[in-house]
Amino acid sequence: MDALLNIPVLGFILQFLVYLVDVIVNGHIAPIILGLATPIALGALCGVMNERSGVVNIGIEGMMLFSAYVAFMTALFVHQAIPADRSTFFGVTPALISGIIAAIIAGVLISLLHAWLSISVRADQIISGTIINITALGLTSYLNRLIKPFDSAGTFQSFRPPAELINLPGVGWLFEMFLSVGPIAMLTIILVVVVQILLFRSRWGLRTRAVGEHPKAADTVGINVIGLRYRNVLLGGVFAGLAGAYLTLEATGSFQNNMTAGRGFIALAAMIFGRWTPLGAFGGALLFMGSQALGVAIRLAPPAGDLGTFLAGIQQSYPSIYNNFFTGLPYLLTIIVLAGVVGRSVPPAADGRPYEKESST
Amino acid sequence: MISRPRSYVGRLVVPALSILLALLVASLLIIASGLIGPEKKINLLLPLIAYRSLLAGSFGSLKGVANMIVAATPLMLTGLAVGVGLKAGLFNIGATGQVLMGGFTAALVGVRMADASPAIAIPAALLGGIAAGAVAGFIPGFLKAYTGAHEVVTTIMLNALSQLAISGLVNDVFRAPGFSFARTAPVGNAALTGIGGTNLHLGVLFAVVCIPLSYWLLWRTTVGFEIRAVGANPTAALYAGMKPRRMMILTMSLCGAFAGLAGAIEIQRLGYYPAVFGTSIGFDGITVALLGQANPIGIMLSGLLLGAMRAGAPLMQIQARVPVEIIDVIQGVILIFLAAEIVVRRIFRLRAPSAGAGELQTITRTYGEKVTG
Amino acid sequence: MSVAQPPPPLLQMSGITKRYPGVIANNKISLDVKAGEIHALLGENGAGKTTLMNILFGLARPDEGEILLDGKPVQIADPADAISRGIGMVHQHFMLIPVLTVAENILLGAETMANAVFLDRREARRRIIELGKRFGFEIDPDAKVETLSVGWQQRVEILKALYRQARILVLDEPTAVLTPQETVEVFAVLRRLAAEGHSIIFISHKLYEVLEIADRITVIRRGEVVGTRQPTETNEDDLAALMVGREVLLAVERGTSHPAEPVLTVENLKVKSDRGQEEVRGVSFTVRAGEILGIAGVAGNGQDELVEAITGLRRSSGGTVQLAGQDITSWDVRKRREHGLGYVPGDRQKYGLVLGFPISDNLVLTQYYHRPFARGVQRADAAIEKWAQDKIKEFDIRTPSWSVPAGTLSGGNQQKVIMARELSRELKLLVLDQPTRGLDVGSIEFIHKQAVHKRDGNTGILLVSAELDEILELSDRIAVMYRGEIVALLEGRPKANKEEIGLLMATGGRAHTEGSPNDTSGPSGATPDTSIRRETA
């Protein structure tokens, strides 16, 4: 084995793969990967709800950002008004609950704007989404400047599964990944599975897919295309709201200007990668954000051997580039995946085309 | 286009009214901010104070006008960077990244030529910026043409990547010693200095030239005809013998070049490149392009408007205690009203627009498709 | 003793009037349909038949008049309402979702549920199979609709209506996309439905079919009923005269052709589709200057890919294409055009025009970079304007000005723009793809005349059309395409035999065993028991 690992370039790759497996299974970074993937997965769910119904939504980024801000500020105000002890159940407080609810409402409200512009006004949907992004960024930056937050309502706490479960050889990391996380992250997996099942086996799912593929056909069998699209876009706003709440109430306990940093777009790529299915998008989210987790892992527990020394050497000479490389990996992966996948991964046929009920001659 | 638009005035109406409505909405926000902010009182006149300082900061004095033009210059260029793309059916929100690449390259060239004569150093640095911007635009254009990857996502990714790459390079490789924060060495003679005591500089000429140049390109040349045809109906263009892929790549590179030039101008004005160059001109270019309806003349006017707002904002923040970020909010609301054109028309009881979908309607069409030809 | 009143007709539409801006689509139309009757609605494109049926199906509301079902007046609010009243519609352009299965398409909107949330797919599957059997065919509910042939897709559409217990079935131009074979089969299905008491309204503009299948024929012209006939008391000329209101020349004067040197030589051409399947499998033929070669075939047998390879839109994977002796196989579109190839694409709005551009720009869409329309990179606006005005006059394009967007023109005028553009050059080869789809009789006549005129000017014409009649009318020679191969090369009229060609289109000339739904051909090669007769020679 050592002989293999010592071959110049191939050896590095092998060392890397060995390291990868080791760090995932033994390195306790699995929950970190899920944590990073959660907002992406939720954003992708929002995207799926929209695009499966035929509405392109580029504004997930803005929805997330705005919901994140609303979640944070609401939790803060409630926390100021009603200081409460943390319950043992995920560290829940009234403040945090209010924050989530407010975030969901915010997500739905912005989705209402997007739905209105895309479905009723029939504006170009990409422009509509971009406008939402610009406005959300502007509004949150403005408000953040105006009201300088001086405190925080804290965050949800992760669940602590029994140690025996985590330390199971071989599969322990799976349990750790899905259980050693906060409530929103845990909820995400459940939501992914539920939406997947409903999309392909329920009446709602059949009608949604029909409306996204061929709205005229759906119309002629009596389905309310406009109504269904509105409802689904609004429902998507719930997921975007949850994603925002996650960022400020579970992942960190603060709000930074533009803290979404492109996650909304990575979510889109995950959705395209997953062929517009929730499970596929979830896989994509894990893949994209796993690369960032890798950076964390390498810093905490550097690989042994030549690869380790090589990496340490780079870190020494080019610390900023080294760090930025790992931060930038998800973005790079997104481009690569998109370039490779489009054309093979086909969106719903009526995606992006506003529906007009015609009374034809 | 052969036929002159029936009335330029007609096309100004909706954007103008959108701006008006946005200012109204922003007024509400300003009043609210008076309540929430440090003053903690409702001042119904606050918006007027704010807008007056905004105007004063830009039109109130000769210096203010100069500042407005200086602020508008890069905005017109990034507006073209987005607007020309729109004509080809491409939405270039990567102007930010292209600006950074252009600025960074201009800084590197400038540092190299810091001691050369300005007549050589300035154009060299600008050219460097243009070239870098063109490359930065080429990448998403190529990806879109040959893989179908939609430019909206790839350009945002490239924005982030550009920022990370450049800041890494400035910190680790190009950091100039002796400064309290990470930045490159000064660009010396490549800097664009103010003329006659104002902030006006040579770069303004470039922007001014690019506007009529774009107009001539789009409406008077065969190349522009192809660009517009590909933007309006790429399949018909293909069937008629044009090459949509080539046009997409060409257009994106051109857009990148405009943005790169804007970045170069800003950096050469600043005199160096800081590790983190926080500029909003890339994003603002989107507003300028949409407000200007993807038309070079419109872009010029919108650029001036937004430049006026940006130039006057600091004074507004001082005098009316309203944070400069309100300009970002105003931008967003203008765009919402623009998109909801129908609402604006209904409010002011205007006639519905004539047939023929605008360019603004055609971007989403290529969202998930591969491009042929 | 009172005589029992006969039951009222199943459907009565009386005094229906519908106005749209600038036109009266339906003007006091009255129609009645009995149970178990096949009633044909005959009329040209734009006569108002589709409007009438849209009203029946709840897609539009009448301005005047009423609808009676079983003698009782009803208001039909929307398609869901129509469906619940037993009215089913099979649209001309199928309302099927390609990526969904047969069962999913049938279920949509009338879902069979296992509980409040989930579908009962097993029960649905059972019902669908049973329905199919009842009307004579075996259908696989889990097949994806996009894998089915057009004939089978139509059956899914019919099943959709039957699943919802339709008593009245409206079929809009059902045979527009079928081979003569498939037409025979669907007629058999319709007769079985009628025998079971369903009423069928059959919309068509094909005279001979209507004479064959209908129990009664109502002719509509310009929004009014101009006559109702029994098939036994009328013939095609009578119907045609009613339809158009004047003596109609049902065939254009084609004259004889004098073919000269070959302008297009295709040898062993192979072309792959986007998915990598070989759609054109070694095709060889020649088109000569001064002749029209028509390619007959059911849509989807490789014609699109063949045309794309000849025009340069698609790379071939084998074989050669020669234009007047030059090997153009690797040339791009523009180079082929510059050497004398003209092309009128199949979808004028998607492929032929930029609707937002003015007519003048569309007229120079292929030549804009040449003198006199441009000098180097700069366009010559005045020259373009003059040329546009000339062409508008020459081709009688109805428009207020050369500067209005092409999207404001009617279908016929849009096609004229494209024809003007292509025909105004010296051409060696002109490729016409579905040149008269969706056009009115007047425009069709005009375009056919232009094509013959060009042929007489020593251009070779390659005509691809799904309308077998058009092929028969115009072609000097006919090639039949089946599954990517030319299976026959025949003389045109008067020697051409329509049944023979139809059979070749459907079966490729080979004997077949029992067909499956995925076969483009029909079932076992039994000879049709009714002949589809046109005018006798």
Q: Does residue B94 lie in a domain region? A: yes
Q: Which of B240, B48, B171, B304 is nearest to C343 (CA)?
A: B240
The whole-model pTM stands at 0.84
* Per-residue model confidence (pLDDT) at position B8: 57
Q: Backbone dihedral region of C282: left (phi > 0), alpha (psi from -120 to 50 degrees) or beta?
A: left
Distance, CA of A267 to CA of A47 (rounded, Å): 8
How much is the mean pLDDT over chain A? Answer: 86
Stronger pLDDT, C209 or A170, i.e. the higher one: C209
pLDDT score at C249: 52
Is C354 close to B229, i.e. CB distance below 8 A? Answer: yes
Residue C532, pLDDT above cutoff 50: no
Contact B363 A127 (CB under 8 A): yes
The band of B251, judged by pLDDT with boundaries at 50, 70 and 90, is very high
Position C142 scores a pLDDT of 92
Is the Cβ pair A339, B143 closer than 8 Å? yes
Please judge whether B340 and A123 are an interchain contact, meaning their C-beta atoms are less than 8 angstroms apart.
Answer: yes
Chain A environment of B158 (Cβ under 8 Å) = 331, 335
State mean pLDDT over B342-354: 64
Q: Inspect the interface and report whether the beta carbons of B233 and C369 lie closer than 8 Å.
A: no
Q: Is the dihedral of CA A45, A46, A52, A53 positive or negative?
A: positive
Q: Mean pLDDT, to the nearest integer, of B204-227?
A: 93
Residues in chain A closer than 8 A to B369 (CB atoms): 343
> Three-class SS string for chain A?
CHHHHCCHHHHHHHHHHHHHHHHHHHCCCHHHHHHHHHHHHHHHHHHHHHHHCCCCCCCHHHHHHHHHHHHHHHHHHHHHHCCCCCCCCCCCCHHHHHHHHHHHHHHHHHHHHHHHHHHHCCCCHHHHHHHHHHHHHHHHHHHHHHCCCCCCCCCCCCCCCCHHHHCCCCCHHHHHHHHCCCHHHHHHHHHHHHHHHHHHHEHHHHHHHHHHHCHHHHHHCCCCHHHHHHHHHHHHHHHHHHHHHHHHHHHCCCCCCCCCCCHHHHHHHHHHHCCCCHHHHHHHHHHHHHHHHHHHHHHHCCCCHHHHHHHHHHHHHCHHHHHHHHHHHHHHHHHHHHHHHECCECCCCCCCCCCCCCCCC
Per the CB < 8 Å rule, is A222 touching C118?
no
For residue A204, the chain C residues in CB contact (below 8 A) are 117
Chain B, window 293-312: residues with a beta carbon less than 8 angstroms from a chain C beta carbon: none
- Domain-located, residue B209: yes
Lowest mean pLDDT across A111-120, A168-177, B281-290, C429-438: A168-177
pLDDT at residue B96 is higher than 90 = yes
Q: Is B180 on the interface with C (CB under 8 A)?
A: no
Q: State the ipTM, two decimals.
A: 0.84
Q: Is residue B128 part of a domain?
A: yes
Q: Is the pLDDT of residue C513 over 60?
A: no
Q: The tokens 């003349």 sit on which residue? A: B297
* Separation of alpha carbons B146 and B373, rounded Å: 9
User: Does any CB of chain B come closer than 8 Å to the CB of residue A5?
Assistant: no
Contact B236 C405 (CB under 8 A): no
CA nearest to C88 within chain A: A221
Report CB contact under 8 Å: B239, C357: no
In DSSP terms, which residues pair with B353 in a beta bridge? none
Q: How far is B337 from chain C (nearest CA, A)?
A: 24
**Pairs of CB atoms within 8 A across A/C:** 83
CA distance B16 to chain A (A): 18
Task: Please tell me which residue of chain C has the smallest CA distance to B235.
Answer: C351
Interface A–B counts its CB contacts (< 8 A) at: 176
Chains that touch C (3 or more CB pairs under 8 A): A, B
The two domains C11-244 and C252-340+429-515 share their CATH topology (first three levels equal) = yes
Q: Which domain range does residue B112 map to?
A: 8-366
What CATH topology corresponds to C11-244? Rossmann fold (3.40.50)
Q: How far apart are CA B163 and CA B273, in angstroms?
A: 12
Q: What is the pLDDT of residue C2?
A: 54
Q: What is the CATH number of the domain that holds B13?
A: 1.10.3470
For A346, name the nearest residue in chain C, comparing CA atoms only.
Answer: C99
Give the lowest-confidence range in B45-49, B107-111, B155-159, C400-404: B45-49
Model pLDDT, residue B369: 62
CATH architecture of C252-340+429-515: 3-Layer(aba) Sandwich (3.40)
Please state, rounded to an integer, the average pLDDT across all residues of chain C. 84
Whether residue B36 and residue A339 make contact (CB cut-off 8 A), yes or no, is no
Contacts of A217 in chain C (CB under 8 A): 95-97, 105, 108
* Overall domain count for chain B: 1
pLDDT for position B357: 39
Does B3 reside within a domain?
A: no
Average pLDDT of the residues of chain B:
85
B66 near B200, Cβ under 8 Å?
yes
Cβ distance of A121 and B343 shorter than 8 Å: yes
The residue of chain A nearest to residue C115, with distances taken between CA atoms, is A202
Average pLDDT over residues B170-182: 86
* C354 to B222: CB separation less than 8 angstroms, yes or no: no
**Residue A292, CA distances (Å) to A179, B162, C478 in order:** 21, 17, 64
Chain segment C406-424, per-residue pLDDT in tens: 988 888 889 999 999 999 8
pLDDT in tens, A216-261: 899 888 889 999 999 999 999 999 999 999 999 888 888 989 999 8
What amino acid occupies position A359?
S
Peptide bond into C528 cis (omega under 30): no
Mutate to test the interface with B, among C379, C384, C415 (most CBs of B within 10 A): C379
C372 touches chain B (CB under 8 A): no
Show which of residues 303-342 on chain C sit within 8 Å of chain B, judged by CB atoms: 311, 313, 332-334, 337
Q: Which residues of A touch C (CB under 8 A)?
A: 198, 201-204, 206-207, 209-210, 213-214, 216-223, 349, 359-361
Min Cα distance C534 → chain A (Å) is: 30
The residue of chain A nearest to residue B157, with distances taken between CA atoms, is A331
Task: Write down the domain spans for chain C.
Answer: 11-244, 252-340+429-515, 351-425
pLDDT in tens, C226-283: 889 898 888 877 887 787 765 555 556 677 777 788 999 999 999 998 778 888 999 9
Question: Is A127 touching B (CB cutoff 8 A)?
Answer: yes
Q: pLDDT-based confidence at B200, cuts 50/70/90?
A: confident
**C-beta atoms of A321 and B363 within 8 A:** no
Count helices and strands in chain A by DSSP H and E runs? 16, 0
Give residue B57's pLDDT: 80
- Considering only the beta carbons, identify the residue of C61, C78, C99 that sits closest to A222: C78
Q: What is the pLDDT of residues C174-183, one digit of tens each?
A: 887 777 778 8
Percent above pLDDT 70 for chain C:
91
- Mean pLDDT of the region C195-215: 87
**A322 chain-B contacts, CB cut-off 8 A:** 168
CB atoms C111 and A360 under 8 Å: no
**Chain A contact for C160 (CB, 8 A cutoff):** yes
Residues 243-282 of A with CB under 8 A from B: 261-262, 265, 268-269, 272
Distance of alpha carbon C412 from alpha carbon C48, whole angstroms? 17
Mean pLDDT on C114-141: 89
In a domain, B174, yes or no: yes
Closest chain C residue by Cα to residue A225: C109
Does the pLDDT value for residue B26 go beyond 60? yes
* Domain A19-149+172-341 grouped into CATH 3.40.50: no
